[in-house]
Amino acid sequence: MSATNKTINTKSGFAFLFPGQGSQVVGMGKELYENSKAAKLVFDEIDDALNRPLSKLIFEGPESKLTQTSNAQPGIMAVSLAAYKVMEEFLGKKDMPQPSFVAGHSLGEYTALAITGSLDISSTAKLVQERGRLMQEACDLKPGTMAAIIGLDEIIIEEISRQTGTYISNVNTNHQVVISGDILAVAQALDMASARGAKRAMPLKVSGAFHSALMEPARDGLQSAVNSVNLQAPCIPIVANITAKPIDTVNQLKKELVSQICECVQWKKSIEYMITMGATNFIEFGPGKALNGMLKRIDNTVNSMSISNLNSIQGLTLK
C-alpha cells in the first residue's frame, strides 16, 4: 500500500479531534494491531480492563453486535487511542505535534481523557463501557431516535423542535444539525423540515435519542461512575461539547461528562473557538473521516488530516 504524503508544520497551532458513535465499522484498527506494537498494547490493555475480547469483536464482528452502544463506544475509543499511539510511535515522542487543544464529539470526549492524562487507558475503557451500558438502558426505557437535517438555518430547526417536542442534539456545521426525540415526533419534524426547504432530512441508524432529555435515566448512574474514577486535571485543555470552551479543572470535567449525555453537542462552536485561539492544523484520530468533513464545512481554510490506518501515518513528514 502506497502512503499518502502529508506534511505537518510543527510550528503551527494544533488541535486533536476524536470521533463519536456512528463511525464504527467491522475491521477498524486491525491493520494497526497487526503492524504496531504500540497499537497492540492499547487493544490488549482494553481487553484486559474489560475482561472480554473486545478487540476480536472490533476486528471480526458481527456488525450487529459491534453497533450495540455498549460495544461501539469502547470500540471506537480503542481504535482512536491506537491510531494516536501509532502516530506517536512512527514520529517519535520528541517530534509528535503538541496540541493546544483536544476535543471529542460526544463519546470522543472520553477518548480525550486518556490523551490528556486525565484518566489512564484502563479506567477510561471501563468508564466508557459503563456509559454505553447506561445509555442503552435509557434507550430501552424511553425509546427514541435521531435524524440529521441538512440545509436549514438553526433558528428554523429550533422552531420545528419546539413545535414537535424534539430536541437539538448536535450542531455540527452551519447547515448540519441533528435532532432527537420520540420516534413519531422525529418523523413529524423531518416532514416539517422537508416542507421548509431542507436539502436532506434523514433518520440516523442509532439505538436511541442521544443528547436529549430521553437520556435522563442514565444521568445518576453516570454521575456515580464518574465520581468513582480518579480523574485528574487535563494537561491539555479539552474543549467541552456543551459550552465550546476549554476545561482545565476536575470539577468542570465531571460536570461536562455527566451533562453532555442529555445536552446538545456544540461542535461548530467548539471548532470555531479553537480556530479563533490559533489552531490551524486539525488531526482526527480514529475510524472514519466524519469530523474532517464537518471541519471543511465550518472553515475550509484550515489544514486537516485523518489518522486511522498505516497509510495515513506512513505518508507523514515534518517541516
279 forms beta bridges with 13
User: In this structure, is residue 54 part of a structural domain?
Assistant: yes
Q: What region, left, alpha or beta, does residue 68 occupy, with left being phi > 0 and alpha being psi -120 to 50 degrees? A: beta
Q: pLDDT by residue (tens digit) across 46-93?
A: 999 999 999 999 999 999 999 888 899 999 999 999 999 999 999 998
- Let me know whether 221 and 87 are in one domain: yes
**CA 254 – CA 223 distance, rounded (Å):** 8
- 208-254 pLDDT, tens per residue? 999 999 999 999 999 999 999 999 999 999 999 999 999 989 999 99
- Domain hosting 112: range is 6-140+212-318
Do 289 and 274 share a structural domain?
yes
Are 165 and 228 contained in the same domain? no
CA atoms of 196 and 149, how far apart (whole Å): 11
Q: How many CB atoms lie within 10 A of CB 246?
A: 20
Q: Identify whether residues 216 and 150 lie together within a single domain.
A: no
Residues involved in catalysis: 106, 211
Are residue 117 and residue 264 in the same domain, yes or no?
yes
Please check whether residue 122 lies inside any domain of the structure: yes
Residue 1 included in any domain = no
Q: Tell me: do 246 and 103 sit in the same domain.
A: yes
Please give the pLDDT value at position 199. Answer: 96
Do 100 and 239 reside in the same domain of the chain?
A: yes
Q: How far apart are CA 165 and CA 148, in angstroms?
A: 16
| CATH code for the domain of 27 | 3.40.366.10
Give the pLDDT confidence score for residue 317 in this predicted structure: 72
Provide the pLDDT confidence category of residue 8 given band limits of 50, 70 and 90.
low
Question: Can you give the CATH number for the domain in which 192 is found?
Answer: 3.30.70.250
276-307 pLDDT, tens digit per residue, is 999 999 999 999 999 999 999 999 999 999 99
Query: Is residue 119 domain-shared with residue 189, that is, in the same domain?
Result: no
Question: Quick check: is 133 in a domain?
Answer: yes
